[in-house]
Amino acid sequence: MLIFDAHLDLAWNAVEWNRDLELTVAELRDFENNFEGIIPGACTVSYPELERGGIGIVIATLLPRLHRKHKELTFYQGRESSYAAAHGQLAYYRSMERKGVLKSLPDRAALAEHAQLWRDYLASPTGEAPPIGYILSMEGAPPILEPAQAGEWFDAGLRIVGPGHYGPNEYCHGTGSEGPLTDDGVQLLKEMDSVGLLLDATHLADESFWQALDVFNGPVLASHHNCRSLVPGDRQLDDDQIKALIERGSVIGAAFDNWMIKPGYVKKVTSADLVKIEDVVDHIDHVCQLAGNANHSGIGTDLDGGFGKEQCPGDLDTIADLVKIPNILESRGYSSEDIEKIMSKNFVDFFEKNLPEAN
């Protein structure tokens, strides 16, 4: 079965952490044992693992993290640096395309063709697997130096912008902060509307979230979000936010970071074995129950997004273990049609409807 993962920081891992994602996860872990305490945990994602799990389409990010508190060297201290880093990450994706490892899916036709290519391959997996298809997203908008630059990024292949990340930035308030969009944030959303960029509501602080839904008229998704009613905290969506996204026709991707999955989980303290993939399915199911159907749930793992296996469900060794989800859904009474929707079809349909037409 084709799997669509709506949030992977592939270039960030490759460029910032010097990970050769063409290696197996076992090879990467063996190499990184030399750097224990430096790397952000035991990796779970590489291209061979994506292929092994049938994860044929992903949303791949540009993630040049911005922070002005001189807290970590992995956070850029100025927008100009984050702009340059974003272009470096974009160059990585293009280099992987040149090698035939990745395939950009910037429009509806490219997505539809690639999804069918993977379905055909998975139905009869002989010969070489297709490349991993990706839709380009930006997590945190500071690399867009001014709202008017949105069109430049669209022309470079960007299709989704999540204005927020952690803390406030020039456009909005993000996770761990409180407040509205800035004036530039309002203008950015209008520019995104104008050029055809989609909005990822992930990481927006509550006030910024509601204002963004009022200002932005285009399609909205939540690439990697879980449910606040199951795990308290502003990183999760409350039920009213989920209902508002459902009303907008959004798809919400379930995330695989343990502190977002199970209440009371403490990073670097609680054993990962106390969290299971079954607990992630609780969040998927909650969205489905609020919607009254399975049309708005998906997968957005965020695996290797600044954490590793130590902070993932204990029964997940690599991203290929996403193949365990269908059986869990089936055991809860989900039909094969609804399982396919959750694993890929909801996000594929969303983007086939909302990506631009081919030129």
> What is residue 69's predicted lDDT score, i.e. its pLDDT?
52
> What is residue 70's predicted lDDT score, i.e. its pLDDT?
47
Q: Which two tokens stand for residue 305?
A: 């997004």
> What is residue 39's predicted lDDT score, i.e. its pLDDT?
78
Cβ proximity of 251 and 232 under 8 Å: no
HEC letters along 242-290:
HHHHHHCCCCEEECCCHHHCCCCCCCCCCCHHHCCHHHHHHHHHHHHHH
Sign (positive or negative) of CA dihedral 253, 86, 45, 266:
negative
Rounded distance, CA 115 to CA 215, Å? Answer: 32
Cβ proximity of 162 and 138 under 8 Å: yes
pLDDT lower than 70: segments of the chain: 65-77
Bridge partners (DSSP) listed for residue 58: 5, 134
pTM of the model: 0.96
Quote the radius of gyration of the chain (alpha carbons, Å).
Answer: 19
Residue ranges and CATH numbers for the domains of the chain are 3-354 (3.20.20.140)
Per-residue pLDDT tens digits for 181-210: 999 999 999 999 999 999 999 999 999 999
> What is residue 41's predicted lDDT score, i.e. its pLDDT?
86
Rounded distance, CA 96 to CA 109, Å? Answer: 21
> What is residue 342's predicted lDDT score, i.e. its pLDDT?
99
Q: How many CA within 13 A on the CB side of residue 77? A: 5
Rounded distance, CA 43 to CA 37, Å? Answer: 13
